[in-house]
Amino acid sequence: MAALELLSPLTSPGLRESTLREINESPSIREASIRELRHMLENEKHLRSRTDAPFLLRFLRARKFDVDAAFELVKNYYRCRSKYTEVYNGLLPSKVKGNLMYNYQTLLPHRDLQGRAIILVKSGAWNPNEYGPDEVFKTNTMCMEQAILDPDTQVNGVVMINDVKGLGFHHIRCCPPSHFVKVIHLAQDGFPARFKALHIVNEPLFLRAFMAVLLPFMKEKFRKRIFFHGSDMSSLHQHVSPSALPKEYGGTQDDLDNEDFVRTLEQNEELFRKDAEYGYTEK
């Protein structure tokens, strides 16, 4: 069953062509790289990996067709699925639907001007009395898994907007240090996406100091892609066009409504269920 997608298509062929050059993708390189990566995975002991071309392309594109790096990323992806069972066990649309219906995590339906998908998270709207941090992160991961089904997103990448309005120390106290290390590990080394930027808006004063504590756990490239905007939406618009944003962020799109996104996720339930059958057979 083909995956159902949600995002608007790219409108600029020139944009796609330039990005394909950036990630070293061409028909001949693509075919040879898929073949080589598939062979490497088939010979990896104790790993039962998907080896179909659409799956392998996620990893090759994330690592600019460096086959060895893509091989390491596939292994890390499956290792993370084995290690972080609190996130990956039951990673299904039906299990996160309740969280999504609160409308504080979603994949926006429109891309930015660089063709990148936009994940919107309202961390400050999270009620820790209803969902724990791992349930929230499970839902974030589900959003990302849906986003990377789209070939244009694999090529152009993903940006995340985190609205932390209302975030307080009661949120932070619910998250042990290991939780933040896990999130950073997965984002940097265990997920096949081109993370292009993290935009933080409506941040309280203490958050920048708290983020400074986490910076040593991040690679330099990752650190340089974090931007703080406060309540200044014009600052955000320098990076993400208003044409892709809901009105509450100074955009032109309707206010956030997860109904279409949840419906698309639900139609991909069986796809994600089958994905859970793969992984390392020995830890």
Cα 116 from Cα 179, distance rounded (Å): 27
Whether 4 maps to a domain, the answer reads no
Q: What is the pLDDT of residue 102?
A: 84
Please indicate, yes or no, whether residues 64 and 156 belong to a single structural domain of this protein. no
At residue 112, φ and ψ (nearest 5 deg) are: -80, 180
The range of the structural domain enclosing residue 72 comes to: 15-89
Domain assignment present for residue 282? The answer is no
Please indicate, yes or no, whether the overall pTM of this predicted structure exceeds 0.75. yes
pLDDT at 103: 84
Report the amino acid identity of residue 103. Answer: N
Q: Does residue 220 form part of some domain?
A: yes
Same-domain pairing of 100 and 77:
no
Per-residue pLDDT of the chain (283 residues; tens, 9 = 90+): 445 455 555 555 666 677 888 899 999 999 999 999 999 999 999 999 999 999 999 999 999 999 999 999 999 999 999 999 999 999 999 999 888 888 889 999 999 888 899 999 999 998 888 888 999 999 999 999 999 999 999 999 999 999 999 998 888 889 888 999 999 999 999 999 999 999 999 999 899 888 998 999 999 999 999 999 999 999 999 999 999 999 999 999 988 888 888 999 999 999 999 999 999 997 6
Residue 3 in domain:
no
User: Which spans in 121-176 are helix H?
Assistant: 133-147, 151-156, 169-173
Q: Answer whether residue 280 is part of any domain.
A: no
CA distance 7 to 115: 10
- Pair (132, 43) in one structural domain: no
Q: Is residue 6 part of a domain?
A: no
What confidence score (pLDDT) does residue 47 get? Answer: 97
**37: left (phi > 0), else alpha (psi -120 to 50), else beta?**
alpha
Residues 151 and 181 in one domain: yes
Same domain? 35 vs 59: yes
Say which CATH number the domain at 161 has: 3.40.525.10
Residue 244 lies in a domain: yes
What pLDDT does residue 98 have? 86
Same domain, 136 and 218: yes
Q: What is the pLDDT of residue 259?
A: 87
Q: Residues 112, 200: one domain?
A: yes
Same domain membership, residue 73 and residue 20:
yes
Last-in-domain residue among 69, 89, 109: 89
Could you tell me if 37 and 73 lie in one domain? yes
One domain, residues 238 and 188 = yes
Beta strand 117-121 with 158-163 is parallel
58: CATH:
1.10.8.20
Residues 172 and 68 in one domain: no
Same domain, 261 and 124: yes
Model pLDDT, residue 3: 52
Are 160 and 199 within 8 A, CB to CB? yes
What pLDDT, on a 0 to 100 scale, did the predictor assign at position 182?
94
79 is a domain residue: yes
Domains identified in the chain, total number? 2
